[in-house]
Amino acid sequence: MHQSSSPQDAERLQRAALALALDRHPKRVHRKQFKAELGDTPEVAAAISYLVRVRLLRWEDEELALTVPALAFAELGL
C-alpha cells in the first residue's frame, strides 16, 4: 500500500487492520503478517497502535488478538 497522510487514509488503514484480525479470528495475527498484507509503513504501524490504544486489538508477544469489544462491535455490524 502507498503511504497515506489524510485522516481518511488513516481510517482506511485502521479498518483494513481490524478487518484482517477479524478475518483470521480466532487465530491471532503475527506482526509479520500485518506487514506482508498491509505494508511495512509508519502509517500501518500508526493504525495498529491506534487500535491497540482504543482497545480493539491487544498485543500477545508478536501477535495481535481481537478484544471482546471488537468482537461485540463486529457481531453488531458496527
37-62 tens-digit pLDDT: 999 999 999 999 999 999 999 999 99
Residue 29, CA distances (Å) to 4, 8, 26 in order: 23, 24, 9
| Contact status, residue 46 vs residue 10, Cβ threshold 8 Å | yes
Checking if the pLDDT of 14 tops 80, the result is: yes
Checking if the pLDDT of 65 tops 70, the result is: yes
Query: pLDDT band at 2, cuts 50/70/90?
Result: very low
- Bridge-partner residues for 59, per DSSP? 64
State how far the Cα of 12 lies from the Cα of 26, in Å rounded to an integer.
Answer: 23
**CATH number belonging to the domain at 7-76, selected among 3.40.190.10, 1.10.10.10, 3.90.1300.10, 3.40.50.1100:** 1.10.10.10
Q: What's the whole-number average pLDDT of the chain? A: 91
Side-by-side strand order, sheet with 29-30: 29-30, 63-66, 57-60
